[in-house]
Structure 1
Amino acid sequence: NFAAFAKAEDLKKRIWFTVGALLVYRLGTYIPLPGINPDAFAQAFSSQSKGVLGMFNMFAGGAVQRMAIFALGIMPYISASIIMQLMTSVIPSLEALKKEGEQGRKIINQYTRYGTVLLALVQAYGISVGLEGGNGIVTDPGMFFRISTVVTLVGGTMFLMWLGEQITARGIGNGISLIIFSGIVAGLPH
């Protein structure tokens, strides 16, 4: 049956696309931020890895403990999505947009992206300032380090958001959920 074979070929392509995209994500969790002393950061992280920082690291697939370009992960997007859902319940104009169907959903998704950028900017700046306060973690502290860290971390989050959308469109399943899942699985004890 040719139709079944064509569907199987499409399914294979989708599976391979998803696997490839998740491999790209996993590779990004190993690329360190520019200007970081990895040994000094690892030492500082090991003393602080319990609690919220450890949980955040688990969701980021270990990128936080390596202070990688994907250290923020997809969490700013998740936070922005939750905030937008709450706002659609409270703000009448957003509630009306939500009821408009596909067009309204697209506009709300765009607002969520803007919120993601805003949250990622704030979080990335906080991380850059916090890293400078660490003992010997940043090789050359200053405004250039802060700007490069913010650009890198926000870019990493935007890339992951885009990658998640690509997985959803061209792969299998919800891309954002798969990125979160692969991060959690990577953080499980061996």
Structure 2
Amino acid sequence: MVNKVLGLEEDKYIASSWQAMLPELEAAQEVLGNEKATQAEVDEACDALTRAYLNLRLKPNKDLLADLINKANGLNAASYTANTWAVVENEVIKAQEVLEDPEASEAEVKAAKKALTKALEGLVAKPGNTVDTSTPVKAGDTTSIKTGDAVSMMYPLLGLAIASLGFYESKKKKR
């Protein structure tokens, strides 16, 4: 068990759970190094270290939460009703606290992502703006907000047709 714990990478675990495990590891190493240790001492040290190992908490991945916060911060408040925007602002503040909390659990990160996603999906556009209200805003969705730009597919398709003709002609000349 000592070897297993020594093989762990500290930076992958929440600091408080790692610090709680260290005294048990040190005690187990002392018992392990004591040639006169009884079986009861070995069993007790092993049990204590095992409990501490099982209490280690992995750091949750907060990347998706950070992306969602950035997306919310990138929206224009003036495009949405005050009530729905206030909900988003409130959830962004809560999500930011979870993001900055080094002791945040996986459950807290998931709850913050869920709450912020729900708030973003609940945004209601003000009448007369260019926000697409037919498609709800979702986490990871970067195409649901219209910019008001009109893009014609005619030019890319025309360019592709000309390039294809040029390629065909060059192949034809080589034969």
Where relative contact order (Cα < 8 A, 6+ residues apart) is larger, the structure is: 1
Q: Could you say which structure has the higher helix fraction?
A: 1
TM-score (norm 2): 0.24
Over alpha carbons, which structure has the higher Rg?
Answer: 2
Q: So what's the TM-score if we normalise by structure 1?
A: 0.22
